[in-house]
Amino acid sequence: MEKYDIAAYVWPSYTGDESRTRIFWPEGIGEWQTVKNSSPKSNGYHWNRKPLWGYVNEADPFVMAGQIEAATAHGVNVFIYDWYWYDGRPFLENCLNDGFLKAPNNHKMKFYIMWANHDVNHGWDKRLSDSVQDLIWHGAVSREQFEIIGKRWIEKYFTRPNYYCIDGKPVVSIYDINNFVQGLGGIALAVDAMQWLDRKAKKAGLAGVHYQFIRWDGNIRDQSGFDGKRIDNESELVRLLGFHSVTNYQFAHMTNVNRDFLDILEDIKPLWEKIRDEYGVTYYPHVSIGWDNNPRYQNFIPNITTNNGPENFKKCLVAVKEFCDRNNVNLITVNSWNEWTETSYLEPDDLYGYGYLEAIRDVFCKEE
């Protein structure tokens, strides 16, 4: 294929501009606080990474201008922003609204949103994450709230010239399908809400909405169809809801990541084929850099991907490029641009430098 869209997820927590982040990171620099204050565990394990660009405010348009230049120079031409809505208002919009969209060069790359509509507990707060799991915010929303959200998406994002579209339709991903359906009152009412947003988008001069399903492990969680019968497989749920495509967010949702990266890759390659065959809509393949969320905990968490340096990540990119070429798809989702505390990020650090970005450039960017 001539053109590939490399879309990296953006975790918009690296700013103190959102006041509610102080609940988790009181220093006022967002989750950089967790990265900066990493310390050895009781067993001696020490996750100790430092960003080459420093603990920058990613809601600053001048910071984002530099990141856009670095991303596009290495073949990353789409950012997928994690987007949140809690207690009737947006959360962590600053990095997108004030950083990316106000960067003078944001026209150089596309963006779209993934509605990260999961519940929130104290998992982001290292002081409490080992022991306290009290619910802070629900991710499910009512139809009334969904209409407020949908109008916001259209007005602030979908109508922008650099919003990422497929077949002319702005793309929006749904992260937690269970919260989505349950909040709206069931599958039939969820379909009605999705069709409402599609109509609203068309009234705004767009071609409609491209709904992208985020697949986890493929298991159904207490969903029933229009006639009340239990749905037997997730592909049926995707069909009933009218999704147009499927992708993933993390290898950790797809297989056991507590092992060597190349062993993980051997499981992922056939899984790409399986998802493509089962869901009946276009599958846009996903790649992750690794997994280790020890920075978010005081105690050691023995769930770590090993041997996942840039050279082996490059092997994964070669494999996914071959998949795209065989199946005539051009969008690849990547975890991620900046999931530092899950150890799956493209941003340069003091361990590998620009190695992961260079791997993308080497595989997907043609020589001039």
- Span 86-93, average pLDDT: 98
Residue 24 pLDDT greater than 60, yes or no:
yes
**pTM, whole model, 2 decimals?**
0.96
Q: Note down the domain range covering 65.
A: 5-364
Burial of 95 (0-12, 13-18, 19+ CB in 10 A): buried
Give the up-direction half-sphere exposure of residue 172: CA atoms within 13 A in the CB hemisphere. 23
Residues with Cβ < 8 Å from 270, sequence gap 6 or more?
none
Give the pLDDT score at 223: 60
Burial of 170 (0-12, 13-18, 19+ CB in 10 A): buried
Q: What percent of the chain has pLDDT over 90?
A: 93
| Mean pLDDT, the chain, integer | 95
**Residues 133, 122: contact at Cβ < 8 Å?**
yes
Q: How many domains would you assign to the chain?
A: 1
Q: How far is CA 44 from CA 27, 129, 209, 295, in A?
A: 26, 20, 50, 14
Burial of 4 (0-12, 13-18, 19+ CB in 10 A): buried
Give the pLDDT score at 368: 41
Residue 229 pLDDT greater than 90, yes or no:
no
**Residues 156, 149: contact at Cβ < 8 Å?**
no
Give the pLDDT score at 87: 96
- Span 127-134, average pLDDT: 92
**Among 76, 53, 14, 59, residue whose Cα is nearest residue 365:** 76
Give the pLDDT score at 220: 66
pLDDT digits (tens, 9 = 90+) for 283-295: 999 999 999 999 9
Give the pLDDT score at 222: 59
Residue 146 pLDDT greater than 70, yes or no:
yes
Q: How many CB atoms lie within 10 A of CB 159?
A: 14
**Which domain CATH number covers 86?**
3.20.20.80
Q: What percent of the chain has pLDDT over 70?
A: 95
- Span 317-327, average pLDDT: 98
Residue 333 pLDDT greater than 90, yes or no:
yes
What's the CA gap between 78 and 71, in Å, rounded?
A: 9
Residue 221 pLDDT greater than 80, yes or no:
no
pLDDT digits (tens, 9 = 90+) for 165-184: 999 999 999 999 999 999 99
Q: How many CB atoms lie within 10 A of CB 103?
A: 21
pLDDT digits (tens, 9 = 90+) for 37-49: 999 999 999 999 9
**Among 286, 368, 299, residue whose Cα is nearest residue 335:** 286
